[in-house]
Amino acid sequence: MDRIILHCDINSFFASVELLDHPELRDMPVAVSGDPELRHGIILAKNQAAKACGVITAETVWQARRKCPDLVLLPPQHEKYREFSRRLNRLYQEYTDMVEPFSIDESWLDVTASRTLFGSGTQIADRIRHRVREELGITLSAGVSYNKIFAKMGSEYRKPDATTEISRSNYQQLLWPMPVNEMFFVGFATAERLKAADIHTIGDLALADTRMLERLLGKQGPLLRSYARGEDDSPVRRYDQRNKIKSVGNGITFRRNLTGEDDILTALTRLSDTVAGRLRKYQLKAGGVKVDIKDTQLKTISRQTQLTRPTNLADELRRTAMELIRSFWPSQKPIRLITLTAISLCDETGEEQLSLFREENAAREKTESIERTMDAIRSRFGDSAIGFGQIIGNDIGIDL
């Protein structure tokens, strides 16, 4: 028997939440941006009126205003969004304990065992949509399918406030004619490589030669082909299993040995960015940082430290790791590998002690806004769409 998987995705999440406090703007084009006062701020979310004007997520404010001169810009309020995310996931858990958040506004639900209580997958999705609209004042689109990949693509298929079921009998008709860049996990760079190989649609990808895809994209190629064919059996994790993750880390063996602080900072910039992004995806924060260094003799030395306040920001992880390395490693001694690991994890929604200095809190909020903007861009355009400038042009083997 096939599973019944839902993917629930809030429509224009940040903008929808903001409009609850600004009902007078509901019929106007509205966007949430990283900093409305900066000409080069980034659009984080937009409402339907702004979308109708051609405004897109991740473009700059000046580009958006060229398309839509009357665009109203609102600053993000991330704590408010986290509170709505908590409320949404509590609502989902009334239908199943198999709820896996994918981001702050998206979650998968496995409702296979819930049918006898609440009806079919489509009926459950429609019931959830109705409750979210009535109880929270915002809307969501839901995908219903027999696997997570197609459920996610179903929630993207028709918006806003819609349910789309992608089944074994209709997925070829619905999905295969779509451009290959619409395939989940196919970012801009991957799509361009596929198009250069004459793979233009999801159907082309599904029918492509496996060996050719592996030569083109490595192990990712055959995996994407299997996803396009509906071959995904990855489970939906229980909601409480998120906090069973003990650590989140990333390590790199470099093209050449690192020597000097500039090399080390370049490496830590990439490592901390990856680790912080994963923490935010899992809605976790690190209470400590662990660094492993392997020298040219393949000897590994490990050190760790606790943070004064939990974090999932790359900037704070990088600075802490650099201070830790300075405490035990001579900067000119060659390094073959560095691994950065976030330890002592906790839920990002937990209470924490704020700094007594207003400037420090404001700076942290600004850093969080920037890094969550990067998350939004990567979610839409792929992991390589944006990165920190410090790693551009490096010769140690780190790519965007």
| DSSP, residue by residue, 3-61 | --EEEEEETTHHHHHHHHH-GGGTTS-EEEES-TTSTT-BEEEE-HHHHHTT--TTSBH
| DSSP, residue by residue, 193-240 | HHHHTT--BHHHHHHS-HHHHHHHHTTHHHHHHHHHTT---PPPPPGG
Is 244:284 a contact under the CB 8 Å cutoff? Answer: no
Cβ contacts of residue 12 below 8 Å, gap of 6+? Answer: 45, 46, 47, 48, 51, 160
Dist. CA 240–CA 88, nearest whole Å: 15
Residue 106 falls in the annotated catalytic set? yes
Structure tokens at 388: 């920190």
| Residue position matching structure tokens 């190989």 | 197
Q: Give, in order, the Cα–Cα distances in Å from 37 to each of 42, 75, 102.
A: 11, 9, 31
Is 18:137 a contact under the CB 8 Å cutoff? Answer: no
Start-to-end C-alpha separation, the chain: 42
Beta strands 248-258 and 72-74, pairing class = unpaired
Which member of 18, 106, 316, 371 is catalytic? 106
Q: What angle do CA 154, 155, 159 make, to 5 degrees?
A: 115
Three-state secondary structure call for residue 70: coil
Catalytic residues: 106
